[in-house]
Amino acid sequence: MISVRYFKDGELIRIKLKVRGSTVIELPDNVIAIPAFADMHVHLRDWGESHKEDLNSGSRAALAGGVATVGDMPNTKPPIRDPDLALRRIKDASSLKINYRLHGGVPTDLNLLKGYVSLGIRSIKVYPEDYRVIEEIIKAAAVNNMTIIIHCEDPSLFRNLNGNDSRIHGVNRPLDAEFSCALRVIQLALIHGARIHLTHVTDPRIIDLVKLSNRITIDVTMHHLLLDEDSCIEHVNDPFYCKVNPPLRSRLIRLELLRRLINGSVSIIASDHAPHTSGEKFHSNYDNTPPGFPGLETTGLLLLDLWRRGLIDLGRVIDVYSINPLKILEVNNDAQLLIDTKSSTVIDPSLFMSKAKHSPFSGWATMVRLIGLIKGGELLMVDSDYEKMFAGLISNNTLIKLSRSI
C-alpha cells in the first residue's frame, strides 16, 4: 500500500493506493498522485520498422513518460489496412503492460470495417492519401458507429518546393491545407452524423469551429504549442531536423493555439510520438529527412510544467491528457502517476527508453518529476533516485527509469 496525496475533482485528499506488499509506505506531501496519462496518438512502429521503435521499447517509453494507455497508429510497415493484419498487431501487443488500442487503417474495401468492429477496434485513422474518398469513409464509419481520426491536410493544396531549412515544409504544407480539409470533413460529419476527431490540429480557427458540435473533437501536440518554425530551428544543429507533419507554424499562430489551451478550448493533448533514429532524422537534405519526433517521454513533463508555471491548472492537465483521451479510446483508467512537485527534470534524450534518442526539447528544464507509475496494483515505473522510497514494491516488472534532475 502507498499512502499519498491524490488530486481528485480539484482537491488534494490523502488516499491509500493498493500496491503489492503488505507494508504501508507514507509518501511525503511533495509527492502527489494523479490519473496516469493516456496518449491517443502514438506510432509504436515495430515489424519492418523495429529499428525506429518496437512495441516493447515504445511501451517502455510510454511508462517513462507517465503514460499507461496508448492509441497506436496503423501506418506501420506493412500498413494495417485490413482486419487480418489488425488482429496480428493486437496479438503482438497483448503482452504489453500498458493499455493498448489500435486505430485501424482505411481498408480498400470499406465493408471490412465490420471486421475491425468485431475485433473491438472502434476507430479508423484517415491520412491525406485517403482524402480522395473521404465522403465514402465518413459514411461507412458512421454506419459502423466508429470514430474517424483524421490527419486533416488537403493534399491538393500541397506544393513541392525545395529550400535551405525545414521552414520550407510550412510553405509546402500550408495552414490553409489544414483549414480547407477541416471545413470539408466537419461539413460531411454533420451531414452524415459521423463522429470525427481531428488530430494534431495547428490551426486555431479549427478549434473555434469544432465548438459547433459535440460529435467533433480535436487534439493538439506540445510541439505545435511550444515550438514554432523559427524557434525550433534555432535550437537544433540541423537545417531539416524540425520537419514534422503538419509543419510547425509561425509564432503568431502558435501563440493563438497556446491561448486556446489556456482558455480551455483545447480538450485533448496527444504526443504524435513519431520515432525515427537519429541517423535518419539528422539529415541535411529535405526529402530524406523523415517528419516527426518522439514525444512519449516529453509530453506529460511539458504539460505539467505549464501547470507548475501557472498557465493551466492541474485539473486541465488531467482532462486533456488522461480523462478526455480515455473517453475516445473507450478505456477505463486503472493507473496512477506519482509526481514530485518540488523536483525538476531536464529533458535528456540520451536517457529515453524510446529508440529515438533525440528531441527538439532537448535541454529544456521542467519544474516537475515523474517518479512512479502504479497500474493494476503494481509499480510499473520508478525513477532511479526514488528506488529506496519504494523498496519492497519493486518487482521484475518494474521499469527503473534514469532521470536527470536539477
Contact status, residue 184 vs residue 134, Cβ threshold 8 Å: yes
For residue 244, the partner it binds in ligand NCD, Zn ion, none, with Cβ less than 5 to 8 A by kind, is ligand NCD
Applying CB under 6 A, the span of 10-18, 262-270, 287-295, 376-384 interacting with ligand NCD comes to 287-295
Residues 316-375 close enough to bind ligand NCD by CB under 6 A: none
CA 273 to CA 306: how far, in whole Å? 20
Is 340 known to be catalytic? no
Q: Binds 245, which of ligand NCD, Zn ion, none (CB < 5 to 8 A, cut-off by type)?
A: ligand NCD
When asked if residue 274 is in the footprint of ligand NCD (CB under 6 A), the reply is yes
Specify the stretch interacting with ligand NCD by CB under 6 A; choose among 94-102, 288-296, 334-342, 354-362: 288-296
Size of the site for ligand NCD (CB under 6 A): 10
Nearer to ligand NCD, 102 or 339 (CB): 102
Question: Applying CB under 6 A, does 219 fall inside the site for ligand NCD?
Answer: no
- Measured from the CB atom, the residue of 204 and 292 that comes closer to ligand NCD is 292
**Sign of the torsion angle spanned by Cα atoms 349, 353, 356, 359:** negative
227 binds ligand NCD (CB under 6 A): no
Could you say which residues in the range 165-194 bind ligand NCD, by CB under 6 A?
A: none
> Please, what is the minimum distance in Å from the beta carbon of residue 52 to ligand NCD?
8
| Three-state SS sequence of 156-205 | HHCCCCCCCCCCHHHHHCCHHHHHHHHHHHHHHHHHHCCEEEEECCCCHH
Whether residue 66 contacts residue 98, with contact meaning beta carbons closer than 8 Å, is answered with no
In angstroms, the Cα distances linking 366 to 276, 299, 378, 404 are 24, 11, 27, 11
Considering CB distances under 5 to 8 angstroms, the limit depending on partner class, which of Zn ion, ligand NCD, none binds residue 382?
none
CB of 50 to ligand NCD, least distance (A): 14
Cα distances from 85 to residues 11, 348, 373, in angstroms, run 45, 35, 31
For β-strands 31-35 and 335-340, DSSP reports them as: antiparallel
C-alpha cell at 94: 497483448
H-run or E-run covering 234: helix 229-235
Give the interface segment with ligand NCD, choosing from 60-68, 229-237, 284-292, 375-383 (CB under 6 A).
284-292
**CB closer to ligand NCD out of 277 and 344:** 277
- Lookup: cell for 19: 500496491
User: Is the CB of residue 157 less than 8 Å from the CB of residue 172?
Assistant: no
In the bound state with Zn ion, the residue whose beta carbon lies nearer, of 66 and 275, is: 275
Catalytic residue among 39, 272, 319, 340: 272
* The three cell numbers locating residue 267: 480538450
Closest approach, Cβ 41 to ligand NCD, in A, equals 9
Residue 220 touches ligand NCD, criterion: CB under 6 A: no
- Among 75, 144, 231, 362, indicate the residue that binds ligand NCD (CB under 6 A): 75
Q: 3-state class of 404 per DSSP?
A: coil
DSSP H stretches of helix in 319-376: 324-329
Find the shortest distance in angstroms from Cβ 58 to ligand NCD. 12
Footprint on this chain of Zn ion (rule: CB under 5 A): 272
* 72 versus 319: smaller Cβ distance to ligand NCD: 72
* H or E element at residue 375: strand 369-375
Q: Does 224 bind ligand NCD (CB under 6 A)?
A: no
Q: How many CB atoms lie within 10 A of CB 62?
A: 35
Q: Which residues neighbour 252 within 8 Å (Cβ) at sequence distance 6 or greater?
A: none
Rounded CA gap, 381 and 367, in Å?
A: 20
Contact between 122 and ligand NCD by CB under 6 A: the answer reads: no
Q: Which of 50, 245, 333, 362 binds ligand NCD (CB under 6 A)?
A: 245
